[in-house]
Amino acid sequence: MKVVNLTDHFLIAMPAMADPYFAKTLVYICEHNERGALGIIVNRPIDINLASLFEKIDLPLKAGGFSEMPVYFGGPVQTDRGFVLHSPVGGWQSTLAINGNIGLTSSRDVLQSVGDEGQPREILVSLGYAGWAAGQIEYELTQNAWLSVPAQPDIIFNLPCEERRDAAARALGVDLTHLADGAGHA
């Protein structure tokens, strides 16, 4: 099987994706290596906003413009834990630098900075993440479960969540409404 590195790529769920966790999702891959992969679903908001989250974790949210931002279902792994995709990368306690501009932080200090200073300004907060074992994404790609395309930060941070999956597909030159539910293999 061909080795690929999908770090800093989107996985676009194909229309036939039946898994309820991943149907119609856009996943941003934060890390992909020989041990597996970690990603955040970036288009599935849950029924909680940042103001409510900050209240639940007893942090003040003094900075403006964040209160009504949704929290996202990031994936089915560790759904009781928060993860913050953000730009710029910054110097937080527990940050995975994905590229020179985007980081994924799981430590509380990034949320304290958002609440106090409004920084980092570009954020997506999720509960949980998506994880794959070694070789699992590669196998799923051969089964036509996903399309992949290099990620574009504007899609994550500047588009409404309901437009993100289609925008990522368009970046690949694909209109998802014209894809068949089934796939063939030659």
Q: What is the DSSP string of the chain?
A: ------TTEEEEE-TT---TTTTT-EEEEEEEETTEEEEEE-S-EEEEEHHHHHHHTT----STT-TTPEEEE--SEEEEEEEEEEES----TTEEE-SSS-EEE-SHHHHHHHHHH--SSEEEEEEEEEEEETTHHHHHHHTT-EEEEE--HHHHHHS-HHHHHHHHHHHTT--GGG--SS----
- pLDDT of amino acid 186: 46
Q: Which residues of the chain have pLDDT under 50?
A: 185-186
- pLDDT of amino acid 181: 58
Q: From residue 148, give the alpha-carbon distance in Å to each of 23, 52, 76, 98.
A: 15, 34, 20, 17
- pLDDT of amino acid 23: 96
- pLDDT of amino acid 179: 77
Q: What pLDDT, in 10s, does the model give residues 19-39? A: 999 999 999 999 999 999 999
CB atoms within 10 A of CB 41: 26
